[in-house]
Amino acid sequence: MKIIKNTTISFLILFLILFSSIQIISCKSKDDDPPQLEDFVKIAHAGGEIDDIKYTNSLEALENSYNMGFRFFELDIRLTSDKKFVAVHDWNKWQNMTNFSGEVNDENPPTLEVFESYKLFEKYTALTMEWINIWFGDHNDAILVTDKNQELNKFSDEFLFNDRLLMEALNEETIDNSKDSSKLMVNYNGVLRSKSDQISFLNSKKMKYVVTGIPENNTHKKSLKKLIKNGAFVFMYFLDKDGDISKQIAENRSYYNGAYVDYYRI
């Protein structure tokens, strides 16, 4: 049984952008020959690396990654204390990047005013919802991929370009509460691993996209190959956690269509 294809206009737009945005291993610029479909999609993790710094989720990181040829951009989305969406991997990292002297954590995040008053490493611009909409409005071939945030309906309402949005769903409750499951990327470990019939589950939810870590064993590998064979689009994360990803890409190439990377060095 093949995964059901969503027939809405927004899905078709996203599908076309997805395959037109696939980039070849040599990271060619947009002026080079069109990429081949057998090559994989690269997602700029946390906006991508800038000046050898990871996890900034910054305006400058987005622009740097875009100029490198990326067209998929992952941002870690969290809420401030006054319930405003911002891009930040975690509050400890944000505190280290800003030298913020107050107490801050998941239970006690800063206000939006405080958040946007600090530069990251005294030079990078932290992304508020306003900045996110401005940047994606100025880059109409860019696709936003979100992580961390599970208030998906609220974020979808505030992001102005829903035909260019994918959101990771970490658990089944989030999927069930979603207004449009076709925009979701289901987390393999959090949801699919426990399903006896993963294809039927995706069909029932009208979902196509899967997020996974590097396969842990042969069962995991077989599951990913079956998902791809039946029409799922699998994104793999942690590919560059050891710095050199070329070996990992070669070893796992049969198990994914796209990968989260900080800076593609091959």
Provide the token pair at 164: 């260019």
Q: What's the half-sphere exposure (Cβ side, CA atoms, 13 Å) at 258? A: 25
Q: Where are the alpha helices (DSSP H) in 21-85?
A: 59-68
Provide the token pair at 165: 């949005």
pLDDT tens profile 52-62: 999 999 999 99
Q: What letters, b where the CB count within 10 A reaches 16 and e where it falls short, cover 191-204?
A: bbeeeeebbebbbe
Q: What are the structural domains of the chain?
A: 40-261 (3.20.20.190)
pLDDT tens profile 92-138: 999 999 999 999 999 999 999 999 999 999 999 999 999 999 999 99
Residue 251: burial class (beta carbons within 10 Å; 0-12, 13-18, 19+): exposed
Full-prediction pTM beyond 0.75?
Answer: yes
Cα–Cα dist 20/220, whole Å: 29
Residue 98: burial class (beta carbons within 10 Å; 0-12, 13-18, 19+): buried
Q: What is the DSSP letter of 97?
A: H
Residues of the chain with pLDDT under 50: 5-9, 19-38, 266
What pLDDT does residue 18 have?
A: 57
Element spanning 57, H or E = none
What pLDDT does residue 238 have?
A: 64
What count of other Cβ atoms lies within 10 Å of the Cβ of residue 247?
9
> What is the distance, to the nearest Å, from the Cα of residue 218 to the centroid of all Cα atoms in its chain?
26
Q: What is the mean pLDDT of the chain?
A: 86
